[in-house]
């Protein structure tokens, strides 16, 4: 009787492998391959992006598998520790990080430059999910129960914004708001918050750095400054538009081949893809992303506990925000903020973070029947 | 809405359900966004596709126009008189650069340029037509050019190119007839085809034959389309269309005669025109002259000022632009008109006493003592003014005008020479219309000796004497060599009249007592012609008493010296007309020059026949 309950390690592992969601994993792999393919088209002999990207993908997928097979209980227990650890890294970055482009964002780990603000996106998801696990629905709107989430949200927000990296700061804020909404905070609080934000808006503009103001102005009228910041948006629109329905063909993208596209391997990777594969390919790619998001929704609905559920929703929302901001930017719907396309874009920390987050989702799927 | 807003207070719903419902709400929001992005892509990639394809092509293709080589100009013996040489230069495309300062400072890093040059370019760029590439006046050698070509993509809007520059082999001798080329202004551009726009270092003819034949000399510009990357570096050649070089133009001018004539005019202000009997111009020189090569790159203000201020007006083509009273060279027309209108017979005689008083005015002959009783032949030979006063008085100005018009006076000699002047042959109706006054008979009299309102250009006089010498046939004067030689219609009524006049001209040069007897040419080939001395001021009676010599007067009050003639006298082949501004009497200055030039032509002719 006892033996049958206390399963040995092989039986445990086998159970996990059976629970492993191969459909979800293959969706991720397809996107990873599309990323590799697109990076390949913008690669040249000097940059060697493809190889570096491949190495990062290998590390990220290993991380994904590692996280996936760790029991979700572990993440529940260490959620606050994880969060506080990253807050510590953010403070560390403030003093010891090295700066680039006027912002202190990176920690040099010798083999790898890590961006704690990226990891924070997971940190807040875990911390908020942990916090709302046992808050009763009746108490959720109580003022006393709002104090801790406010701290969880605003400590990283201010730390990241003061780097200065307002984009990522706002990103974290949006993900947190999504979490609060999912946790069941009543609409009244959101509406009050929204209006107080609207009132605060004019004052906050005074705190913006000149380059941030310029970006907003450029977004409002990109054609004004063709060779300055507006250049990015204009060239991106030209590349996407000239792709047409079927695209210019693999490796035939003139805008990217001839260097008219800026940041083509990172933030504007979608443009590169869209120029080559047209409307058809672009819609297919977006649908793949939505398939992943829907799969995450599906996993979260099947979860047995609210922590898993909230984590999964949070991760899904996080990926959606990435996708939305990136696509909005490259198609000229939103201002230029440096947000990569998840899974596809070249870039270390974002890739790791995304795969880590997806690993959490997979973990929730594998351990859905486990109690916390 | 109720579905998405849980009412937890009721306690009827589990937290899990709330989370799930809200997740659905969020997911539907995500789908709204999906629809937005897809429709945005639809708008960009399907609706606006063509527009963006054009923009993408504009990004990557650069079209560079290639200047064709300007057509050569040859003389009648195929000697090149206007040539081209190859140059390597840099142009900047005004719409591709941020500012001229920016461009020059980055340019100076590659090729050193002095501060002087920089300020010169800036000044020049300010007034530059921004639709045209701005060419730096800097000829590069091949080394510099190839080095520049290698790094030029670092400089936005720079275009190195190979082009041709006009050069004149005999700049001073041919300055006025060939004219010069220079950078086109907007008016020049409007006159030529639109595909010349954007051709770097395009030069158009500004005056002379260069302007007259600009269209055929220009050729057709070629073009090259390159694919460039975002930094302007050429990635590959897409298309290259070779231009068509300008067609060469063979003129009827004889280089040797032109040079010789120019030497004859040294230190003098005047012009020489030589035509053959069909109106092909053999030589057309104006003096003093200038160096048209300087205009190719844009002449400096200082140099231009010197030319402009010279009182002998080197920039003006005195053979075509300046008009002069024809003076005694007009007497042939008067004689012919009177004969044809049967006012006089060829035996008409009149007595010259040196002066005559008519209409309350005294008219003088150049010979104070008078010629005595003269007939037509002697009147022409000795250029008796009193005789022609009388003939003109009997003839009347209107009939005289008709004959003068028939011989091409008062009208353009060449087609499309914008610097050519029309001159003026007066009539009673002209005076009424132009000046609003009625004609005085006294004015008819001075018109009889080619003075007064009448103004002709040297080329008109040359055409006139050619038409006398060829037996009274109209000619179509031109600078272009062509084998198609034909005389026009006959413009005289009676050959006898022409014969009489030609005989008189022959005697004027070859018989003692003739006005140009001292300028005769010995040998088989003889010169025949008529001198003229044009007054440029009114001589008062008191001045006449003083008998002022020409050389005592200030230069600009001296008489113009003219000679129109032809040769060989027995078989006319060439006609010549010489005008020396303020040179003095026709027999003393213009006639010897005409003699020298004709002698040179005869000498050439003899050599040609012997061989």
Query: What is the domain partition of chain B in residue ranges?
Result: 8-47, 62-250, 255-287+320-610
Task: Please state the separation of Cα A288 from the chain's center in Å.
Answer: 16
Question: Most A CBs within 10 Å: which of B17, B21, B30, B54, as the mutation test of the A interface?
Answer: B30
Question: How much is the pLDDT for A229?
Answer: 58
**Pairing label, strands B80-92, B158-168:** antiparallel
Q: Spell out the alpha helix ranges (H) of A254-268.
A: 254-257
- Of A56-60, A222-226, B524-528, B601-605, give the lowest mean pLDDT range: A222-226
Is residue A96 one of the residues assigned to a domain?
yes
Question: How much is the pLDDT for A33?
Answer: 94
- Taking CB atoms and an 8 Å limit, are B49 and A187 in contact across chains? no
Is the backbone of residue B318 left (phi > 0), alpha (psi -120 to 50) or beta? alpha
What are B70's two structure tokens?
């300007």
Question: How much is the pLDDT for B589?
Answer: 87
For residue B576, what is the enclosing H or E element? strand B574-580
How far is the C-alpha of A152 from the C-alpha of A131, rounded, in Å?
10
Q: Give phi and psi for B80, each to the nearest 5.
A: -75, 130
Question: Quick one: average pLDDT of B27-40?
Answer: 92
Identify which of B26, B48, B60 has the shortest CB distance to residue A241.
B48
- Taking CB atoms and an 8 Å limit, are B41 and A282 in contact across chains? yes
B13: pLDDT strictly greater than 60: no
Is residue A4 one of the residues assigned to a domain?
no
Task: Please state the separation of Cα A137 from the chain's center in Å.
Answer: 28
- The nearest alpha carbon in chain A to B14 belongs to A137
B60 interfacial to chain A (CB closer than 8 Å) = yes
Question: How much is the pLDDT for B7?
Answer: 45
Is residue A113 one of the residues assigned to a domain?
yes
- Taking CB atoms and an 8 Å limit, are B231 and A259 in contact across chains? yes
Residues of B in contact with A274 (CB under 8 A): 41, 45
Q: What is the pTM of this model?
A: 0.69
Question: Quick one: average pLDDT of B140-154?
Answer: 76
- Of A263-267, B31-35, B67-71, B392-396, give the lowest mean pLDDT range: A263-267
Mark B185-221 as b/e (b = at least 16 C-beta within 10 Å).
eeebbeebeeebbbbbbbbbbbbbbbbbbbeebbbeb
- Our CA-based measurement puts residue A253 at a distance from the nearest CA of chain B, in whole angstroms, of 10
A187 interfacial to chain B (CB closer than 8 Å) = yes
A 313-372 near B (Cβ less than 8 A): 313, 317, 320, 324, 327-328, 331-333
Count CB atoms within 10 A of the CB of residue B577.
32
CB B491 within 8 A of CB B485: no
Question: How much is the pLDDT for B363?
Answer: 84
**Pairing label, strands A103-108, A98-100:** antiparallel
- Our CA-based measurement puts residue A301 at a distance from the nearest CA of chain B, in whole angstroms, of 7
A189 interfacial to chain B (CB closer than 8 Å) = no
Question: How much is the pLDDT for A296?
Answer: 93
Percent of chain B with pLDDT strictly greater than 90: 14
**Per CATH, is B255-287+320-610 categorized as 3.40.50.720?**
no
B11: pLDDT strictly greater than 60: no
- Our CA-based measurement puts residue B181 at a distance from the nearest CA of chain A, in whole angstroms, of 38
Identify which of A136, A227, A258 has the shortest CB distance to residue B229.
A258
- Number of structural domains (chain A) is 1
A236 interfacial to chain B (CB closer than 8 Å) = no
For residue B204, what is the enclosing H or E element? strand B204-205
Nearest to A172, CA basis, from A191, A155, A184: A155
Question: Quick one: average pLDDT of B68-74?
Answer: 90
User: pLDDT band at B110, cuts 50/70/90?
Assistant: confident
Question: How much is the pLDDT for A110?
Answer: 60
Per-residue pLDDT of B189-199, as tens digits, reads 888 887 887 78
Count CB atoms within 10 A of the CB of residue A88.
11
Question: How much is the pLDDT for A219?
Answer: 57
Question: How much is the pLDDT for B460?
Answer: 92
How far is the C-alpha of A312 from the C-alpha of B55, rounded, in Å?
43
Residues of B in contact with A183 (CB under 8 A): 19
Question: How much is the pLDDT for A225?
Answer: 53
Count CB atoms within 10 A of the CB of residue A264.
27
Q: Please name the CATH architecture into which domain B62-250 falls.
A: Alpha-Beta Complex (3.90)
- The nearest alpha carbon in chain A to B1 belongs to A187
- Stretches where chain A sits below pLDDT 70 are 1-7, 45, 97-105, 108-112, 209, 212, 215-229
List, in sequence order, every beta strand (DSSP E) within A39-166.
Answer: 98-100, 103-108, 113-114
Per-residue pLDDT of B487-506, as tens digits, reads 888 888 888 888 888 888 88
How far is the C-alpha of A147 from the C-alpha of B245, rounded, in Å?
85
How far is the C-alpha of B330 from the C-alpha of B316, rounded, in Å?
24
- Our CA-based measurement puts residue A329 at a distance from the nearest CA of chain B, in whole angstroms, of 11
- Is the peptide bond prior to B568 cis by the omega test (within 30 degrees of 0)? yes
Question: How much is the pLDDT for A218?
Answer: 61
- Our CA-based measurement puts residue B107 at a distance from the nearest CA of chain A, in whole angstroms, of 20
Q: What is the ipTM of this complex?
A: 0.89
Nearest to B94, CA basis, from B67, B54, B66, B121: B121
Q: Which domain holds residue A80?
A: 22-366
B282: pLDDT strictly greater than 70: yes
- The nearest alpha carbon in chain B to A294 belongs to B27
**Pairing label, strands B158-168, A98-100:** unpaired
Per-residue pLDDT of A317-348, as tens digits, reads 999 999 998 999 899 888 777 788 999 998 77
CB-based burial of residue B259 (10 Å sphere; 0-12 exposed, 13-18 middle, 19+ buried)? middle
A136 interfacial to chain B (CB closer than 8 Å) = yes
Q: Which residues pair with B181 in a beta bridge?
A: B205
A 207-226 near B (Cβ less than 8 A): none
Count CB atoms within 10 A of the CB of residue B226.
18
Q: Give phi and psi for B69, each to the nearest 5.
A: -80, 130
């Amino acid at each position: 009787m006892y033996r049958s309950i206390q399963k040995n390690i092989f039986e445990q592992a086998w159970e996990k492998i059976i629970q492993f969601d191969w459909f979800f994993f293959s969706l991720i792999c397809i996107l990873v391959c599309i990323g590799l393919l697109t990076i390949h088209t913008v690669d040249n002999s000097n940059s060697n992006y493809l190889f570096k990207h491949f190495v990062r993908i290998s590390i990220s997928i290993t991380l994904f598998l590692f996280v996936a097979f760790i029991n979700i209980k572990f993440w529940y227990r260490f959620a606050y520790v994880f969060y506080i650890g990253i807050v510590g890294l953010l403070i560390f970055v403030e003093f010891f990080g090295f700066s680039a482009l006027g912002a202190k964002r990176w920690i040099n780990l010798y083999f790898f430059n890590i961006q704690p603000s990226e990891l924070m996106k997971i940190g807040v998801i875990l911390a908020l999910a942990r916090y709302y696990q046992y808050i009763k629905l009746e108490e959720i709107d109580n003022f006393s129960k709002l104090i801790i989430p406010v701290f969880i949200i605003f400590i990283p927000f201010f730390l990241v914004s003061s780097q200065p990296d307002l984009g990522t700061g706002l990103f974290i804020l949006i993900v947190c708001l999504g979490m609060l909404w999912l946790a069941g905070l009543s609409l009244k609080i959101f509406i009050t918050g929204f209006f107080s934000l609207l009132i605060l808006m004019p004052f906050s503009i005074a705190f913006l750095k000149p380059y941030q103001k310029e970006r907003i102005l450029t977004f409002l009228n990109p054609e004004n400054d063709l060779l300055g910041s507006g250049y990015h948006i204009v060239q991106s629109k030209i590349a996407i538009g000239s792709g047409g329905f079927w695209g210019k063909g693999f490796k035939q993208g003139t805008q990217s081949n001839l260097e008219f596209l800026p940041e083509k391997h990172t933030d504007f990777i979608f443009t590169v893809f869209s120029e080559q594969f047209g409307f058809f390919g672009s819609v297919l790619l977006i649908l793949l992303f939505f398939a992943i998001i829907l799969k995450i929704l599906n996993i979260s609905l099947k979860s047995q506990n609210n922590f898993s559920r909230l984590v999964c929703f949070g991760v899904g929302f996080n990926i959606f925000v990435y996708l939305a901001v990136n696509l909005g930017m490259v198609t000229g719907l939103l201002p230029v903020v440096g947000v990569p396309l998840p899974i596809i874009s070249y870039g270390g920390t974002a890739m790791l973070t995304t795969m880590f987050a997806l690993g959490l989702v997979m973990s929730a799927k594998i351990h859905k029947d486990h109690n916390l | 809405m109720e579905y998405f807003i849980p009412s937890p207070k009721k306690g009827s719903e589990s937290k899990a359900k709330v989370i799930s419902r809200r997740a659905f709400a969020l997911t539907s929001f995500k789908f709204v966004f999906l629809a937005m992005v897809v429709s945005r892509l639809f708008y960009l990639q399907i609706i606006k596709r063509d527009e963006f394809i054009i923009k993408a092509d504009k990004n990557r293709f650069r079209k560079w126009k290639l200047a064709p080589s300007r057509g050569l100009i040859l003389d009648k013996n195929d000697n090149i008189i206007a040539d081209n040489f190859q140059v390597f230069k840099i142009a900047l495309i005004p719409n591709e650069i941020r500012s001229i300062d920016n461009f020059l400072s980055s340019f100076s890093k590659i090729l050193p340029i002095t501060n002087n040059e920089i300020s010169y370019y800036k000044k020049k760029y300010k007034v530059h037509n921004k639709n045209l590439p701005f060419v730096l006046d800097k000829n590069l050698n091949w080394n510099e050019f190839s080095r520049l070509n290698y790094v030029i993509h670092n400089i936005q809007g720079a275009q190195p190119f190979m082009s041709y520059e006009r050069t004149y082999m005999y700049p001073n001798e041919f300055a006025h007839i060939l004219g010069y080329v220079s950078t086109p202004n907007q008016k020049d551009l409007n006159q030529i085809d639109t595909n010349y726009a954007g051709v770097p270092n395009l030069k158009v003819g500004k005056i002379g034959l260069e302007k007259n034949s600009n269209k055929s000399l220009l050729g057709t510009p070629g073009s090259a389309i390159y694919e460039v990357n975002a930094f302007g570096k050429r990635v590959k050649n897409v298309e290259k269309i070779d231009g068509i070089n300008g067609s060469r133009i063979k003129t009827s001018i004889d280089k040797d005669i032109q040079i010789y004539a120019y030497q004859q005019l040294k230190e003098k202000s005047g012009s020489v025109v030589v035509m053959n009997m069909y109106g092909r111009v053999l030589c057309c020189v104006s003096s003093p002259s200038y160096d048209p090569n300087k205009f190719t790159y844009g002449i400096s203000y200082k140099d231009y000022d010197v030319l402009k201020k010279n009182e002998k007006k080197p920039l003006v083509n005195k053979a075509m632009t300046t008009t002069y009273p024809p003076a005694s060279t007009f007497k042939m027309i008067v004689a012919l008109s009177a004969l044809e209108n049967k006012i006089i017979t060829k035996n008409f005689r009149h007595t010259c006493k040196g002066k005559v008083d008519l209409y309350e005015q005294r008219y003088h002959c150049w010979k104070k003592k008078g010629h005595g009783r003269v007939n037509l032949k002697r009147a022409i030979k000795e250029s008796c003014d009193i005789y022609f006063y009388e003939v003109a008085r009997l003839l009347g100005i209107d009939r005289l005008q008709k004959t003068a018009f028939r011989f091409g006076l008062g009208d353009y000699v060449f087609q499309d020479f914008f610097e050519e002047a029309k001159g003026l042959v007066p009539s009673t109706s002209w005076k009424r219309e132009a000046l609003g006054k009625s004609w005085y008979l006294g004015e008819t009299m001075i018109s009889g000796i080619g003075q007064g309102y009448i103004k002709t250009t040297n080329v008109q006089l040359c055409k006139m004497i050619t038409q006398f010498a060829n037996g009274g046939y109209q000619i179509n004067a031109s600078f272009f060599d062509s084998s198609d030689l034909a005389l026009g219609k006959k413009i005289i009524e009676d050959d006898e009249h022409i014969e009489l006049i030609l005989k008189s001209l022959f005697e004027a040069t070859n018989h003692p007592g003739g006005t140009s007897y001292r300028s005769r040419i010995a040998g088989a080939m003889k010169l025949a012609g008529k001198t003229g001395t044009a007054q440029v001021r009114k001589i008062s009676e008191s001045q006449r008493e003083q008998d002022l010599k020409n050389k005592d007067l200030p230069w600009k009050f001296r008489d113009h010296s003219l000679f129109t003639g032809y040769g060989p006298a027995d078989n006319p082949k060439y006609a010549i007309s010489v005008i020396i501004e303020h040179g003095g009497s026709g027999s003393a200055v213009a006639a010897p020059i005409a003699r020298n030039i004709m002698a040179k032509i005869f000498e050439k002719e003899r050599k040609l026949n012997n061989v």
